[in-house]
Chains A and B, each alone.
Chain A
Amino acid sequence: QKEVEQDPGPLSVPEGAIVSLNCTYSNSAFQYFMWYRQYSRKGPELLMYTYSSGNKEDGRFTAQVDKSSKYISLFIRDSQPSDSATYLCAMSDYKLSFGAGTTVTVRA
């Protein structure tokens, strides 16, 4: 069993929809939780970072962490075609472990 599980999708939504992405994990030592966005043929870029359980908002993006359930989520409100990318969750105890990534397409 992988330490970090992420549904690879793909996920296709119409413009303006809410995108919901999830990851589960098994290592209770993970302390830091991140979401990365990766456009085609580019390197991943840090999108959201959080340390504790709860919600964190940044513009149209909301990250949720539930340490008791070992579950993290990313929500994208009012999705735009420019949000089309692969989203990777990542978690860290002393080094990062990544999910496999979910490919999202936002249709205009």
Chain B
Amino acid sequence: NAGVTQTPKFQVLKTGQSMTLQCAQDMNHNSMYWYRQDPGMGLRLIYYSASEGTTDKGEVPNGYNVSRLNKREFSLRLESAAPSQTSVYFCASSRADYGYTFGSGTRLTVV
């Protein structure tokens, strides 16, 4: 029972490089989310997808793009990484507005 799987677990990028964070869930959840977690800031919503085919901006969307590839997969892309994007990124999914299931996170460092 995998739940939410995120890849990669760790990544170091140089400023200006691009990368895609992958997320997949096997719980048949409609909604998926990308959060970033920074010390003292808690979890901040970057983008979310309420259902397959839809995506919406969250609290901190600048510098990111997302793709809801199908019901299972929701990817987050950094087109031109900046040091301010150094963070831990979490993907989550839910059946409704509660009971989010989180992945184990991607630790990203931009140098």
Which A residues are closer than 8 A to B by beta carbons?
Answer: 4, 6, 8, 31-32, 34, 41-46, 49, 88, 90, 92-96, 98-101
Contacts and interface: CB of A to CB of B under 8 A. Distances in A.
Contacts of A98: 42-44
B53 interface: no
B104 A43 contact: yes
Interface of B: 4, 33, 40-45, 48, 58, 90, 92, 97-105
A43 B103 contact: yes
- Ordered nearest first, which 9 A-B pairs have the shortest CB separation? A43-B102, A100-B42, A98-B43, A98-B42, A92-B97, A32-B98, A43-B104, A44-B102, A43-B103
Nearest to B9: A41
B90 A88 contact: no
Contacts of A49: 98-99
